[in-house]
Amino acid sequence: MLAPQISVGNAPVVFNEFLNRPGAVGANQAVDAGVAAHYGDPLAEQRALAAGTAIVDLSHRAVITISGPDRLSWINSLTSQSVAGLAQGESSETLLLNMTGRIDYAVRLFDDGTDLWLLLERNEVAGLLTWLGSMQFALRVELMDRSIEFATIGTLGQPTLPVTAPHGLPVVWRDRWMSVGPGGFQYAKATRHPAAGWTYSEVLVPRSALAGIVASDIPVAGLDALEALRIAAWRPHFSSEVDEKTIPHELDWLRTAVHLNKGGYRGQQTVAKVHNIGHPPRRLVMLYPEDAHSIDKHSVRPSRGDEVVAPNKDGADQIVGRVTSVARHFELGTVALAVIKRGTDPTAELLVRTAGCDIPARQVVIVPPDAGAAATVTVSRLPRRGSVPR
pLDDT tens track for 229-282: 999 999 999 999 999 999 999 999 999 999 999 988 999 999 999 999 999 999
Mean pLDDT score of the chain = 89
pLDDT value, residue 165: 96
pLDDT band for position 149 (cuts 50, 70, 90): very high
For residue 298, pLDDT beyond 80: no
Torsion of CA 226, 209, 7, 155, to 10 degrees: 10
For residue 152, pLDDT beyond 90: yes
pLDDT value, residue 10: 65
Taking the model in full, what pTM does it have? 0.91
pLDDT value, residue 30: 62
Could you count the other beta carbons within 10 Å of the beta carbon of residue 262?
A: 18
SS3 annotation, the chain: CCCCEEECCCCCEEECHHHHCCCCEECCCHHHCCCEEECCCHHHHHHHHHCCCCEEECCCCEEEEEECCCHHHHHHHHCCCCCCCCCCCCEEEEEEECCCCCEEEEEEEEECCCEEEEEECCCCHHHHHHHHHHCCCCCCCEEEECCCCEEEEEECCCCCCCCCCCCCCCCEEECCCCCCCCCCCCCCCCCCCHHHHCCCEEEEEEHHHHHHHHHCCCCEECHHHHHHHHHHCCCCCHHHHCCCCCCHHHHCHHHCCCCCCCCCCCCHHHHHHHHHHCCCCEEEEEEEECCHHHCCCCCCCCCCCCEEEEECCCCCEEEEEEEEEEEEECCCEEEEEEEEECCCCCCCCEEEEECCEEEEEEEEECCCCCCCCHHHHHHHCCCCCCCCCC
Tell me how long the chain is.
390
pLDDT tens track for 327-352: 999 999 999 999 999 999 999 889 99
For residue 382, pLDDT beyond 70: no
pLDDT tens track for 6-55: 566 666 555 678 888 888 888 777 666 788 999 999 999 999 999 999 99
pLDDT tens track for 299-333: 678 999 999 999 777 767 899 999 999 999 999 99
Q: How far apart are CA 242 and CA 326, in angstroms?
A: 15
Region 201-226 average pLDDT:
95
